Structure 1
Amino acid sequence: MNNLIKMNNRYIGGDTPCYIIAEMSANHAGDFNRAIDIIHAAKESGADCIKIQTYTPDTMTIDCDNDYFQIKKGTWKNEKLYDLYNKAYTPWEWQSKLKEEAEKVGLDFLSTPFDQTSVDFLEDLEINFYKIASFELTDIPLIKYIASKGKPIIISTGMATLGEIEEAVKAIKEMKNEDICLLKCSSAYPAIPDDMNLKTIKNLKETFGVPVGLSDHSLGSVAAITAVAIGASVVEKHFCISRDIENPDSSFSMEPNEFRGMVDSIRAAERAIGKVSYKVSEKEKVSRIFRRSIFAVEDIGKGDIFDENNIRVIRPAYGLAPKYYNDIKGKKATTDIVRGTPLKWSMID
C-alpha cells in the first residue's frame, strides 16, 4: 500500500498539507449558473477540489411507490427515493462545463459515480481520480470496475464494518490498483460528534497503510480540525452558497465564510502541529530570560556565608542556574554584593 498517492499535480498523505474537498452535491438546486457560482466560491474559500456526483434517478433506483422505496426517518423523511434523486442529481450535460470551469479557476474536479455507465461517462470526461460513496462501499462489482481504470480512488467508509472495508480494499488491489485513500465517515445527515469516533482515522491508517481522511457531515468545523490534528490527510465537506437555498443537502452544508474559516483553522492547526523539534525558537529565546536564577536577596558583605536567608532562586535568569543553589550555600562571598544582584561564579569563594 502507498502512504502517498498522487492526485493531479499534488500528493496526498504523509506530511503533505491536508487536501480539502468542497462537495457541491445537490446544492446547485437545479441551476447551472448557481453550480458555476459554487465553483468560484469554493476556490475563494480555500478548497483544493470541487466534487460533484454523477448519477440519474434511474441509475440509482426505480420509480416505485411501494414501502421499500420510502424514506422513514432523518433529513429526507417522507421522501421517495426516486423523487429525492430527481431533485438532487447534477445533469450530465453540465458536467464537462463544470469540469472546465473548475480547472480554469485552479480547482481539481472530482466526481462520485454510482454505476458503470457513470464511470464510462466520467472516463470520457478524462477525470483524473474517483470518489466512492459510503453507500456504494459494498458494491464490489462497481468498485472493481472503477479500480480497473487505474486511477486513484477515495472511499468513504460510513456504516462499514472493518470486514467490509477490507473487502473493498482487496477488490481494488485485485485490479492492480493500490492508489487508495480511505475517509472516516458517519453517514448521518447531519452527523453528531458522539457518533464520529475520529480515533478510527489513526487505526485505519495503521491497518491499511494508506492515506486517511474525513468525510464530514457534522455541523461546524470542530470535527474537521480535530481530524487533521490526529492525522487526516483529506477533509471533505458539503458546500453551498447559502443554506437558505433549499435543496436536499443544504441543511448540513457549509456557507463560504464558514468554509473559509474552517480552511484557515486547518492551515493554522497544521502549522501548530509542525514537526518533532526540541530547537528553541527565536521568540522562545527572548522569553528564556524570565526563567529563574540565583540572586542575592539581602546585602551580603565580603566573607559572609551564603545561606537561605541571603540568596534565593527567583526570576529573572541573569544569575547562576538554580541547579547550583545547594553547591553555593555554605560558601563565602569574595566581594560585597548588593541586594538584587544576580550571582556569578566570581562572587563565590
Structure 2
Amino acid sequence: MTKTPEIEIAGRKIGAAYEPYVICELSGNHNGSLERALAMVDAAANTGCDAIKIQSYTADTITMDVDRPEFRIHGGLWDGRSLYDLYQEAQTPFEWHAAIFERARQRGVTLFSSPFDESAVDLLAGLGAPAYKIASFEAVDLPLIRYAASKGKPLIISTGMANQAEMAAARDAALEAGAPGVVLLHCVSSYPATFEDANVRTVGDMAQRFGSPIGLSDHTPGTAASVAAVAMGACVIEKHFTLARAEGGPDAAFSLEPAEFTALVRDCKDAWKSLGRAHYDTLGSERGSLVFRRSLYVSADIKAGEVLTRANIRSIRPGNGLPPVHLDEVLGKAVVRDIARGEPLAWEMLGR
C-alpha cells in the first residue's frame, strides 16, 4: 500500500489523515506599523489558526527602483503603482522580524515566512523558522528554492501561474536540495481572485499527479473556496488576514477580518471532519432513530377472521411494525385474533 504523503511543521503533521493546516497570512496589512503587526499576531492567534505567516523582503531585494513601463502595474487592485513603491509600502522590515517571531512564541502559535532572496532565508534561519513558504511569483526561481531547502526545513510552494512542468521542477528542486517535505498550493495569482477562476477541483488532481500534500492559497472573497478545497482534499489552507478592511492596507480588499478568519478555521476543520469515509452501515448515532422509520400499523379495529385491506392497515411512523415492503404481501390475508387500532402489525397476527 502506498503511504499517504505527509510533512511535519513544528511538531504538527500535515496530510490527508489530519485536519487541515490553516495559515493566517499577515502580508503587508500592518500598514507600516510594528505595533499593528504585533496586534495582528495576537488577533491571528485568537482565531485558532495553525500558523501565522509574514513576508520577508525589502523593496530593494524584490525589485529595482526603475522608471520603465514593465516596473509598473497595469490593471487590478494596484493599477498604476510602481513595483518599488508598492513593495516599499508593503514590506515587513527585517528589523521587525525578531519581535514578531517572539510575539508568536509568546502566544504559542507557529510563525514562518516567505523569503524572497537568500538574505531573507538566512534571516529566517537565524530566527528558527520551522518552514519556508515560496510565493507563486518565485516558484520558477529554482536557485532560491534550493537555497531555502538547504536549511533542512519543509517548503510550502504556491503554484499560481505555474504549469505542470514548473510545479514538478519546483518540488523536485526542493526535495533534492534537502527539504524533508514539500506542500504544493493551488493558487490563482489575481487579487482578488473570482470564484469562477478558483477551480478548486485542481486540488484533487494535483494530489494524484504530484505525490505531495496539496493545499490552497485562497485569494477569493469569503471562505467558500477554502471550504470547497478541503472537500477536494486540501491539507493546507492559506488566507490573507487584516484587523479591519476599512483601515486599508495593500491586501486588505481580499483579506478576512478576525471574526471571519475564526469562522474560516472552524468551517475548514468541520468540513474535514464531515468527509469521514464512504460507508452504508447504520451508525451508532442513528440507531435511536430507527424506531421512527415507517412500518405497517393497524388503523382500524379488526375481528379475528377478517382480512387486511388498505382500509385497516397503513404505513406510518413509528417503526415497530412489519416493514412497508410487505404491504402487498399481507393485503387480503385473514388475521387470527382480534386486533385493536394502533397495534403494530406482526406476522403472528396472520398465523405465521
TM-score calculated relative to the size of structure 1: 0.95
Instruction: From the superposition, tell whether residues 28 and 265 of structure 1 become closer, same or farther in structure 2 (CA, over 3 Å).
Output: same
Q: Which moved more, 1:287-296 or 1:214-223?
A: 287-296
Match of 1:237 in 2: 239
Is residue 224 from structure 1 mapped to residue 235 from structure 2 by the alignment?
no
Match of 2:258 in 1: 256
Match of 1:305 in 2: 307
The equivalent position to 1:59 in structure 2, one of 61, 66, 71, is 61
Separation in 1, partners of 2:177, 2:4: 15
Match of 1:25 in 2: 27
Instruction: From the superposition, tell whether residues 324 and 2 of structure 1 become closer, same or farther in structure 2 (CA, over 3 Å).
Output: closer
**1:277 positional shift:** 4.5
Q: Is the partner of 2:320 in helix, strand or coil?
A: coil
In the alignment of these two chains, the number of paired residues is 349
Q: CA RMSD in A?
A: 1.7
Match of 1:39 in 2: 41
Q: Is the partner of 1:127 in helix, strand or coil?
A: coil
| Preserved CA contact (<8 Å) 1:22 1:51 | yes
Match of 2:147 in 1: 145
The equivalent position to 1:345 in structure 2, one of 341, 344, 347, is 347
| Preserved CA contact (<8 Å) 1:26 1:248 | yes
Separation in 2, partners of 1:170, 1:268: 33
- 1:95-244 pair list within 5 angstroms: 95-244=97-246
Q: Is the partner of 2:67 in helix, strand or coil?
A: coil
| Preserved CA contact (<8 Å) 1:2 1:179 | no
Q: Which moved more, 1:269-278 or 1:255-264?
A: 269-278
| Preserved CA contact (<8 Å) 2:14 2:235 | yes
Uncovered stretches (5+) of structure 1, i.e. residues with no partner = none
The residue type paired with residue 243 of structure 2 is I
**1:146 positional shift:** 1.4
**1:202 positional shift:** 0.2
* 1:282-324 Cα deviation digits (max 9, x unpaired): 5523322221111223322112233444333332212112233
Structure 1 consecutive aligned stretches of length 4 or more whose deviation exceeds 6 Å: none
| Preserved CA contact (<8 Å) 1:52 1:90 | yes
Separation in 2, partners of 1:83, 1:212: 33
| Preserved CA contact (<8 Å) 2:227 2:271 | yes
**Identity across aligned pairs (percent)?**
44
TM-score calculated relative to the size of structure 2: 0.94
Q: Is the partner of 2:247 in helix, strand or coil?
A: coil
* 1:21-66 Cα deviation digits (max 9, x unpaired): 1111101111111111000000111211110111111111111111
Instruction: From the superposition, tell whether residues 126 and 178 of structure 1 become closer, same or farther in structure 2 (CA, over 3 Å).
Output: closer
**1:2 positional shift:** 6.2
Q: Is the partner of 1:138 in helix, strand or coil?
A: coil
Q: Is the partner of 2:239 in helix, strand or coil?
A: strand
**1:264 positional shift:** 2.0
Uncovered stretches (5+) of structure 2, i.e. residues with no partner = none
Separation in 2, partners of 1:79, 1:53: 20
Separation in 1, partners of 2:139, 2:284: 50
**1:326 positional shift:** 3.6
The residue type paired with residue 254 of structure 2 is F
The equivalent position to 2:338 in structure 1, one of 331, 336, 339, is 336
| Preserved CA contact (<8 Å) 2:19 2:273 | no
Q: Which moved more, 1:154-163 or 1:172-181?
A: 172-181
